[in-house]
Structure 1
Amino acid sequence: MKKVLETIKAIFFTIWLIIGFFGVVIVYGSYVLIKANILEKRKGIKASQEYIRKVVSWFGRVTFKFLNSNISVFGEENIPQEGPYVIVANHQSIFDIPLILGYIYPTAFIAKKELSMIPILGSFIKKLGSILIDRSNVKSGAIALKKFAKLSRSGEIITLFPEGTRSLNGQVGEFKKGTLLIPFRYNIKILPVTIDGTIKMSKKGSAFIKPSNINLFIHEPVEPKLFASEGELRECLKSIISEKVTIEPQLALKETKT
């Protein structure tokens, strides 16, 4: 009976979200994109991107307030004052992106091409300078690596999910070989981040969205030059990130505050 009631609650919450939240996204998001395009024509792409970054940072935080979800951030002092650096995080849910945008920095992302097809939100992802990968095209990965290197060396901040897909159970999966090749090769500082709890909001394959307690752990930056290989760097980062994943965020909150 309890599960039935939870399911009914999730259904109504999701319907309310789709009607209310995405209605606001479409209306306000369209206005922001029009203004960003005008700024780009009048003042250049940098002015347009700065405006977009301010909006998406605000939007990222508002998303979780709207969804009645509690966010606890640990280690904000570890965020570098400026780029270039690469945010490396585990991937639990579609809400990982607004979480990073709102509570760390409105960065570019390395993400699958399909995200660009989402109305309005896809346009924001493009405007941030994100690198989109077509998984059906073998050459797409090589092109993405070149863009990644170019952006990083120009001082940009980029977010990467080395697992390559969302976790099915919340635990950190294997980091794909070569995903950290660019920061390793060019010694670009890495900021490891643990996301714990967004899977409770929306699991991969589920149509329902639920409120949740979420912990965001920002670890100390890692210097790639201290590692002998990209594989060694990958394993170290996976270990750092995995350590804070509890799947029950309220437990982590209690432990941290005592």
Structure 2
Amino acid sequence: MLYWLMKYVFLGPLLRLFFRPTIEGLENVPRKGGAILASNHLAVADSFFLPLMVPRRVTFLAKREYFTGKGIKGRFKKAFFSGVGQVPIDRASAAAAQDALDTGVRLLREGHLLGIYPEGTRSPDGRLYKGKIGVARMAMEAGVPVIPVVMVGTDKANPIGSKMWRPHRIRIVIGEPLDFSRYDGLGGDRFVERSVTDEIMYALMEMSGQEYVDVYAAKVKDAVPPRRRKPEPADRVPGAKAS
């Protein structure tokens, strides 16, 4: 209920008013059953506009800390992230990566539409970076299609380091589903998982026109000295209070 209130009553109308988002290729999203929406990742705003524009509920995996805060602020954050379709996962334990994969596979087998950013983090410069094989592993274990998604303009509306979102037209393009059933029984083979992941990233590159970089985005970020600035307070929507 909270998800639909956020989408159609509270946050959704505000996003539509300021950013006039459009979407192409909705016919490629199955009406029911598990599937992965594998998207490029330009800004925090991606996780707001994709579920807003897709009629089905889109579920994302998010770090558990978003749901465990104390006081009024903690309760607000928990309600907000639950309301936008995020599911908490533990990223602190040694087995955190496997736990996240297991959660994703469970959700897919239950028929959920799972949103995933194969790059693992936001692009630091607008280019498309090497995908992590988790997306392939989940797709193969759950036996679901992977649907490539391209976000356009979110980095202009929500630049890295911005304190407020800036009105800018947002465009979403959904490609044809990628079927990897030919690899049935080969889950766990890292060579196959890398091949599947690269196929997904190639589709995103072709659709987006982004320059592809064959390294992980996280490594590029780690190599850049941190800037002296306050943490991004909210990547805020116009009119919203910082969380």
Paired residue type of 1:87: L
Q: What fraction of aligned residue pairs are identical, expressed as a percent?
A: 23
Which residue of the partner structure matches residue 204 of structure 2?
Answer: 241
Aligned mates of 2:209, 2:22 — CA distance in 1: 14
Q: Which is helix-richer, 1 or 2?
A: 1
Higher Rg = 1
Q: Give how far 1:191 is off.
A: 1.7
1:222 partnered with 2:178 = yes
Paired residue type of 1:230: E
The one-character-per-residue Cα deviations of 1:117-167 (angstroms, maximum 9, x if unpaired) are: 565353243367744344443222222222222221111221111111111
Which residue of the partner structure matches residue 71 of structure 1?
Answer: 21
Which residue of the partner structure matches residue 40 of structure 2?
Answer: 90
If the length of structure 1 is used for normalisation, what is the TM-score? 0.67
Contact conserved, 2:24 with 2:174, CA < 8 A, in 1?
A: yes
Contact conserved, 1:60 with 1:101, CA < 8 A, in 2?
A: no
1:100 partnered with 2:50 = yes
Bigger shift: residues 170-179 or 130-139: 130-139
Which residue of the partner structure matches residue 215 of structure 2?
Answer: none
Paired residue type of 2:36: V
For these two proteins, the number of residue pairs brought into alignment is 196
Q: Give how far 1:98 is off.
A: 1.4
Bigger shift: residues 116-125 or 222-231: 116-125
- Aligned to 1:211, which of 164, 167, 171? 167
Aligned mates of 2:19, 2:64 — CA distance in 1: 28
- SS of the equivalent of 1:122 reads helix
Q: How does 1:22-33 map to 2 (within 5 A)?
A: none
- SS of the equivalent of 1:180 reads helix
Query: RMSD between aligned alpha carbons?
Result: 2.4
- SS of the equivalent of 2:147 reads strand
Higher RCO (Cα < 8 Å, 6 or more apart)? 2
Which residue of the partner structure matches residue 47 of structure 1?
Answer: none
Q: Which runs of 5+ in 1 are unaligned?
A: 1-50, 248-258
Q: Give how far 1:80 is off.
A: 0.7
Paired residue type of 1:91: H
Which residue of the partner structure matches residue 122 of structure 2?
Answer: 166
Q: Give how far 1:54 is off.
A: 2.1
Aligned mates of 1:132, 1:183 — CA distance in 2: 20
Contact conserved, 2:101 with 2:134, CA < 8 A, in 1?
A: no
Which residue of the partner structure matches residue 252 of structure 1?
Answer: none
Paired residue type of 1:100: L
Contact conserved, 2:38 with 2:117, CA < 8 A, in 1?
A: yes
Change (3 A) 1:189 1:164: same
